[in-house]
Amino acid sequence: MTRLAITYALLMALALASWLVVPAGYALPIAAVKAGLIVAVFMDLARAHPVPRIAALVALLLFALLCAGTYADVATR
Amino acid sequence: MISGRAHALRITVWLVVASEGLLFAGLFALYAGYRAEYPRGFAEGVGLAVGWLGGTNTLVLLTSSFAMAAAIQAGPRAARRWLVGVLGLGGVFLGLKGAEWAIHIGDGLVPGAHYAGPHTPGTALFVTLYYAMTGLHALHLVAGLAMVAWARRREDPAVTECVGIYWHFVDLVWVVLWPLFYLLS
Amino acid sequence: MSEPTAPPPSFWTEPRGVRTWLATTDHKRIAILFFVGTALALMLGGTFALILRVELVVPDHGIVGAHAYDKLFTHHGIVMVWMFMIPAIPGVFGNFLVPLMIGANELAFPRLNRASFWVYATGACITLAALIGGGVDTGWTFYTPYSTTTPTAVAVVCVGVFVLGISSVMTGLNFIVTVHTRRAPSVPWMKLPLFVWTIYATSIILVLATPVLGLSLALVGADHVWHLGLFDPAAGGDPVLFQHLFWFYSHPAVYIMVLPAMGVVSEVVSTFAHNRPASYGGIVVATIGIALVGFFTWGHHMFVAGMSMFDTGMFGALSMFVAVFSAIKMFAWVITFYRGRVVLAAPVLYVFTFLFLFLFGGMTGVAVATSSLDVHWHDTYFIVAHFHFIMVGATLTAYLAALHYWFPKLTGRRYSEVWARRAAVAVALGFVGTFLPQFLLGNAGMPRRYYAYPEEWQWLHVASTCGAGLLALGLGTTLVYLGVALRRGPPSGDDPWQSRGFEWRTPSPPPAVAFSAPPVWERDAYSYEDEVP
């Protein structure tokens, strides 16, 4: 439970910082950190069986691939 | 060789999450593409957001995720109470989201032909994507609420764990949506 | 033909009654239901194609009008892709064989499997209901902005295909979890039959690519109804972005169709060569490799759509990798044949056709993935002929090979080998006859999806239509002799081909519960060593 509470406190701190303090340019990297915390601790992927880990990794890769391929097209026309 | 129901359910829910993640990926790709095409229009669109509603909702959903994780760790008896918290916070999120949509619609920020917002190129597309992405997210949240209610009745730790993973996924999507529609002006 | 002896109890008859079939959760019965559904789709899509081919015998107006022509090729594509080719091999043979090949009595989620069939049936009905509403004229690719502005029934078809997609995801999910959790202790990963590997790899694509199709069609449908202008240049939208989403699914979809076909070919080659596959590990690596690399190539459909040169170069280069993995398989099959003792039978004839179409279609694929060449061939009959060779030809011939190879497994009966060989030759000649002229037409400049054409191309169109007639004759013949064999074919015995495959180690047809205890298989599925000198 302590692990969860610390993670929660971190998430809230990051969200508040992103909202009120830090310049907008850092919003996406902070979101990525928060997403990583949620996946690793709340979804418990850090301690999960390899199969869910591979599934998550492949999905993330393909997610990034679709966004990057599309973005690259528009950005380099 | 591992077998067992809990293991099968865990793989299943992660595959569902992977699949749902790619459902959202298409919209994120559109956002990326259009933001590259219309950086000014999108920045102006972010300026239209009701900042405090989006921020409050982020805190609400993060808290609900903590309650969900706590429910799984607390054991079956205490889980029921934590899950009530999850349901309540999910309801608050939807209520705030609805209020936000109502404000936008009142301001003429509707997708399609009746759009009456700023005419900077790209802002109308931003508004359409805003409704599509937050709408799809809200749909997933409603489905998540139904699952949480079901898990609360089932009192089966394996089911609660899987529903929890799905709930965190819904939270995760919002964590990424938030900067795209509220912060990156 | 002699009167058949009373068949032993099997999944066909236990339990009895139509209702037990409709509500069944038995993977074998669901496979038969998928067979009925996909076979009806093949006939319907084939009928549309025949009408198109007859229309094209004359250079201008023939039997249907121009707008009806547009709707016919659209529905031909939709029916063939989403109602036949995507579900055919996984839905029928995957469902029937994967549990038998891993020593399980059921898929991981039998009720999800039942739902996946009925969701498929619902999606198919919705898609076909659009025909009553006048049909759709966008082509199966739903390119924007035409698809969001045409007055035809786009939204209905989008809903229908979306629902078909849900069925795909359910099927894929079930197979992945099944292979992970239901293997008998004597079937570790590297003893899995190659067909199971291909179904597994296909399922990965089904689960991860289908949602992107669902989303893009949902957006087109919503745009059509509410005029969102999301992909309409007049409203600032970008039609090319729709194509990115569409092809992110629809290119991997080619491998949804072709990977299971490759699995069938691996099994048939090994059984009829009475020989271990030349490189089991190589084929497994190539299978997973194709599934993953297939995701990195979607942009090669958009070389002339206004995509950037950077993306064009990148996707062109990445596309070539598919050929590397395909070549590994091609060599493995040929070597397996070369070193084995080949028994010529109908399934092998279909595999020969597969190899020819796959090689020819694959080589033309490398050609059109070269962006400078694609500028000439794009949107011509060359592309039509290319994807019919590689995607349709490979899938259809493997489907027919599977149907003949596993017919005794499914039914416990033999079909007429003579008629089967005649039909196989007719299908091969018919298919090549249909599409070889189309390569020439495309190279000469005939655009795809055109209703009229200059008179000097008429002889090629007539040749193509003759091929289509022969193909239809072959398929019709197959339906007749298999129908006869189903009722009156002589008993086949449990393993008529003397295969060592796991699926043949249960009675044919299998009883409702195939294994009373997890089977202990000491020899693997390709153990022909004692036979080959």
Beta pairing partners, C413 = C491
What pLDDT was estimated at residue C2?
46
CATH number of the domain to which C403 belongs: 1.20.210.10
Q: How far is A45 from chain C (nearest CA, A)?
A: 18
Domain match, A38 and A63 both: no
DSSP letter at B114?
Answer: T
Domain match, A4 and A29 both: yes
Give CA–CA dist A67/A58, Å, rounded.
Answer: 14
What pLDDT was estimated at residue C113?
97
Mean pLDDT score, C333-338? 96
DSSP letter at B75?
Answer: -
Chain-chain contact of C230 with B128 (C-beta, under 8 angstroms): yes
**pLDDT greater than 70 at residue B1:** no
Residue C516 covered by a domain: no
pLDDT band at C406 (very low <50, low <70, confident <90, very high): very high
Greatest alpha-carbon pair distance for chain C in Å reads: 72
pLDDT tens for C90-108 read: 999 999 999 999 999 999 9
Q: Considering CB atoms only, which of A59, A66, A76 is closest to C308?
A: A76
Give CA–CA dist C219/A74, Å, rounded.
Answer: 20
Q: Tell me if chain A has a CB within 8 Å of the CB of C296.
A: yes
Residue C15 covered by a domain: no
Domain that holds residue C484: 25-505
Chain B hits for C222, CB-CB cut-off 8 Å, are: 132
Considering chain C, what percentage of its residues have pLDDT values greater than 70? 98
Give CA–CA dist C19/C16, Å, rounded.
Answer: 8
Specify the amino acid at residue B56. T
Specify the amino acid at residue C409. K
Residue C525 covered by a domain: no
Domain match, A36 and A73 both: no
Q: Tell me if chain A has a CB within 8 Å of the CB of C244.
A: yes
Residue spans of alpha helices (H) in A1-77: 2-16, 27-37, 50-75
How many domains does chain C divide into? Answer: 1
Q: How far is A39 from chain B (nearest CA, A)?
A: 8
The A-side interface with C (CB below 8 A) comprises: 51, 58-59, 62, 65-66, 69-70, 72-77
What pLDDT was estimated at residue C465?
97
Residue C377 covered by a domain: yes
User: Where in C353-397 does DSSP place strands (E)?
Assistant: none
Residue C528 covered by a domain: no
Q: Considering CB atoms only, which of A58, A69, A75 is closest to C208?
A: A58
Domain match, A37 and A10 both: yes
Q: How far is B182 from chain A (nearest CA, A)?
A: 9
What pLDDT was estimated at residue C25?
95
pLDDT band at B3 (very low <50, low <70, confident <90, very high): very low
- Secondary structure class of C15 (helix, strand, coil): coil
- Token pair recorded at residue C290: 């194709």
Residue C526 covered by a domain: no
Q: Tell me if chain A has a CB within 8 Å of the CB of B178.
A: yes
Q: Tell me if chain A has a CB within 8 Å of the CB of B15.
A: yes
The answer to whether the beta carbons of residues B24 and B136 sit under 8 Å apart is yes
HSE, CB side, 13 Å, CA atoms: give it for residue C76.
Answer: 18
pLDDT band at B114 (very low <50, low <70, confident <90, very high): confident
Q: How far is B10 from chain C (nearest CA, A)?
A: 10
Distances (CA, A) of C495 to B32, C405, C499: 56, 11, 7
Residue C190 covered by a domain: yes
Give CA–CA dist C459/C446, Å, rounded.
Answer: 13
For the residues of C33-84, what is the DSSP string, one character each?
HHHHHHHHHHHHHHHHHHHHHHHTTSSS--SS-HHHHHHHHHHHHHIIIIII
Q: Considering CB atoms only, which of C207, C228, C229 is closest to B18?
A: C207
pLDDT tens for B36-57 read: 999 999 999 999 999 999 999 9
Q: Considering CB atoms only, which of C176, C211, C230 is closest to B125?
A: C230
Chain-chain contact of C230 with B8 (C-beta, under 8 angstroms): no
Domain match, A60 and A26 both: no
User: In chain B, which among 37-56 make CB contacts under 8 A with chain A?
Assistant: 37, 51, 55
Domain match, A34 and A1 both: yes
Chain B hits for C219, CB-CB cut-off 8 Å, are: 26, 132
Q: Considering CB atoms only, which of A51, A65, A69 is closest to C311?
A: A69
DSSP letter at C140?
Answer: T
Touching subunits for chain B (3+ Cβ pairs under 8 A): A, C
pLDDT tens for C364-376 read: 999 999 989 999 9
Domain match, A1 and A37 both: yes
Q: How far is A36 from chain C (nearest CA, A)?
A: 21
Mean pLDDT score, C134-148? 93
Give CA–CA dist B71/A4, Å, rounded.
Answer: 11
Computed over its alpha carbons, how large is the radius of gyration of chain C? 23
What pLDDT was estimated at residue C532?
55
Domain that holds residue A54: 49-77
What domains, with CATH codes, occur in chain B?
A: 62-185 (1.20.120.80)
Domain match, A38 and A73 both: no
Domain match, A55 and A23 both: no
Distances (CA, A) of B120 to B49, B127, C76: 16, 12, 42
HSE, CB side, 13 Å, CA atoms: give it for residue B43.
Answer: 8
Distances (CA, A) of C5 to C411, C413, C490, C508: 13, 11, 9, 14
Give CA–CA dist C221/B132, Å, rounded.
Answer: 13
Q: Tell me if chain B has a CB within 8 Å of the CB of A9.
A: no
How many domains does chain A divide into? Answer: 2
Domain match, A63 and A34 both: no
Domain match, A13 and A39 both: yes
Specify the amino acid at residue C96. F
DSSP letter at C447?
Answer: B
pLDDT band at C1 (very low <50, low <70, confident <90, very high): very low
pLDDT band at C5 (very low <50, low <70, confident <90, very high): low
Domain match, A53 and A29 both: no
pLDDT tens for C283-301 read: 999 999 999 999 999 999 9
Give CA–CA dist C261/C394, Å, rounded.
Answer: 7
Chain C hits for A59, CB-CB cut-off 8 Å, are: 208
Q: Tell which residue, C147, C230, C218, C191, has the closest CA to residue C501.
A: C191
